Chains A and B, each alone.
Chain A
Amino acid sequence: MRDSLTDNTYDIKAEGLGKSFGPVEALRGIDLNVESGEFYTLFGPNGAGKTTFIKILSTLAKPSSGKLTIAGHDAVKDPDGVRGVTGVVSHDPFLYENLSAFENIKFFGTMYGVQDADGRAVELIDRVGLGKRMHDLVRNFSRGMKQRLAVARAIVHDPGILLLDEPYTGLDQHGARVFGEMLSMLKSDRRTILMTTHNIEEGLDRSDRVGILAGGRMVYESLREGLDREAFREIYISRVGDA
């Protein structure tokens, strides 16, 4: 379902990435490689630095040290290059409450420089299953609907990389299931996906590779294949406890 198949590689390369706020070190020397088309899930408790990490990856914050290359673009020197190939879904929807679903997606499409932002908006809102609510204000949407619309916003420019920061936060069971199906769809588009979560159930399902972030450090990394759910839970609890 990915619209334009290109030969580009959409990979994420972080080397020794650090972030400090004055004396506080939020991230210390993170090395991470996510390959093109891979679904990588980063686990970690609240305050581990997950949101800071995603903010740096999405160019909303600058790293204090280290090097970050996303799809070949240096995140510090060429942030616009990175912005053009990444989409972000966070726990906040990043949408305008007083605009309709259509107006929101059209607006963000224009800001991404999408040709025919109108058509693209209609198409995407249909795809995330909100076609009937196209012209309703986002203000009146449920949490789950907002989150689906946020996905439409994040892929309006057809990015090769998706960054998801605790996207399940605040979703009820039904909402979480619908959102999970949407993730499967996004994965089948062969986009590179990096998701953060503190929830082991939601995180393990679709991943190719997993990592654990605790106390601002990467403390564990493994392929998903052959990783037992209960065993991983043990690892998670012990690693997070140590950090």
Chain B
Amino acid sequence: MSKVWAIIRKDIVTELRTKELFTSMLTFSLLVTVIFSFAFGFSTGLVRLAVPAMLWITFTFAGVLGLSRSFALEKEGNAVLGLLLTPTDRSLIYFGKVIGNTIFVFIVGMIIVPMFVLFFNLGFQGTLLPLVPVIFLGSLGFVAVGTLFSAMAVNTRLREVLLPILLFPIIIPLIVSAVKLSGLVLEGKPLSEGASALQLLIAFDIIFIAACAVVFEFVIEES
């Protein structure tokens, strides 16, 4: 357990120092938000319907930036090999990276939401609080698969370009359910109305955290 914590700490210290992940993810999100505003010609009526989808498109694309950078950092000076030389179960390395990345991506999600509210003038009914668990579950599933694939992508010829190609078809169920749930929250309805979407989201998280933890060693080890 102290090993998992050490990996998380290392990633947080690195991020606090370089701020690379946050700057890239947040700048990207801001730009996309602005572009969406222009593209929709500032007509709030039109935007309202599309906001949940836009939110998750922005969020996942920003997340891809962060994920690919996260593993590129491990490759610098081949630090990851130093990590692999230690007698550490590979799934612990996976969990350490997943928890760290989930924290980063989740925080970015929590910043994007108020940004959307502000830019698109969303007068919402009730509370946005139920969005917090939705964004958390979304971040977790996204990072669970994304961490596995980014470890894979940095080791291929296409590098970072490959990550979204691998990741997006797989996370379609996650995006669909998260968009559905976010839509309900923005309409002021309770999450329980989207029970099947919530179940799907949780199922996605559980299935892929388990599966990716098992196959991670095959991706990270040379051969």
Kindly list chain A residues whose C-beta atoms are within 8 Å of the C-beta of B6: 107, 110-111
Q: Which of A55, A97, A107 contacts B76 (CB 8 A)?
A: A97
Binding stretch for chain B, among A56-64, A190-198, A205-213, A222-230: A56-64
B183-223 residues with Cβ-Cβ distance < 8 A to A are: 221-223
Q: Which of B3, B13, B17, B81 contacts A60 (CB 8 A)?
A: B81
B143 to chain A, nearest CB (A): 20
Q: Which of B13, B76, B87, B223 contacts A84 (CB 8 A)?
A: B87
A230 to chain B, nearest CB (A): 36
Query: When A61-B222, A92-B81, A96-B79 are in contact, do A112 and B10 touch as well, CB less than 8 Å?
Result: no
Q: Which of A58, A88, A103 contacts B13 (CB 8 A)?
A: A103
User: CA A137 – CA B14 in complex, angstroms?
Assistant: 10
Most chain B CB neighbours (cut-off 10 Å) among A84, A110, A111: A111
* A50 in the interface (beta carbon within 8 A): no
Q: Which of A55, A62, A97, A108 contacts B86 (CB 8 A)?
A: A108
User: CA A81 – CA B79 in complex, angstroms?
Assistant: 21
A126-169 residues with Cβ-Cβ distance < 8 A to B are: 137-138, 146, 153
* A186 in the interface (beta carbon within 8 A): no
Query: When A61-B222, A153-B82 are in contact, do A97 and B87 touch as well, CB less than 8 Å?
Result: no
Query: When A62-B223, A99-B10 are in contact, do A94 and B87 touch as well, CB less than 8 Å?
Result: no
User: CA A54 – CA B53 in complex, angstroms?
Assistant: 50
Cβ–Cβ contact B73 & A98, under 8 A? yes
Kindly list chain B residues whose C-beta atoms are within 8 Å of the C-beta of A94: 77-79, 81-82, 85
A10-61 residues with Cβ-Cβ distance < 8 A to B are: 21, 55, 58-61
Task: Give 1 or 0 for each of B65-99: 1 = CB within 8 Å of chain A CB.
Answer: 00000000100111101111111100000000000
Kindly list chain B residues whose C-beta atoms are within 8 Å of the C-beta of A113: 3, 87
Interface size class of B (residues with CB under 8 A): 20 to 34
A80 to chain B, nearest CB (A): 4
Cβ–Cβ contact A58 & B85, under 8 A? yes
Cβ–Cβ contact A96 & B85, under 8 A? no
Query: When A61-B222, A111-B3, A111-B6 are in contact, do A99 and B14 touch as well, CB less than 8 Å?
Result: yes
* A95 in the interface (beta carbon within 8 A): yes
* B18 in the interface (beta carbon within 8 A): yes
> Closest residue to B16 on the A side, CB-wise?
A98
User: CA A153 – CA B18 in complex, angstroms?
Assistant: 23
* B125 in the interface (beta carbon within 8 A): no
> Closest residue to A156 on the B side, CB-wise?
B86
Task: Give 1 or 0 for each of B9-30: 1 = CB within 8 Å of chain A CB.
Answer: 0100110011000000000000
B47 to chain A, nearest CB (A): 39
Kindly list chain B residues whose C-beta atoms are within 8 Å of the C-beta of A146: 77
Cβ–Cβ contact B79 & A95, under 8 A? yes
Kindly list chain A residues whose C-beta atoms are within 8 Å of the C-beta of B84: 60
Q: List 27 A-B contacts (CB under 8 A).
A: A60-B81, A60-B84, A61-B222, A61-B223, A83-B85, A84-B87, A92-B77, A93-B78, A94-B77, A94-B79, A94-B81, A94-B85, A95-B77, A96-B10, A96-B76, A96-B77, A97-B79, A98-B14, A98-B18, A98-B73, A110-B2, A111-B3, A111-B86, A111-B88, A112-B86, A113-B87, A146-B77
Interface residues of B (CB under 8 A from A): 2-3, 6, 10, 13-14, 17-18, 73, 76-79, 81-88, 221-223
List 7 extra interface pairs beyond A98-B14, A108-B82, CB under 8 A: A60-B222, A79-B87, A90-B81, A94-B78, A94-B79, A97-B77, A103-B10
Top 10 A-B pairs, shortest CB-CB distance: A94-B82, A111-B86, A80-B87, A92-B78, A83-B87, A110-B6, A98-B14, A96-B79, A61-B222, A84-B87
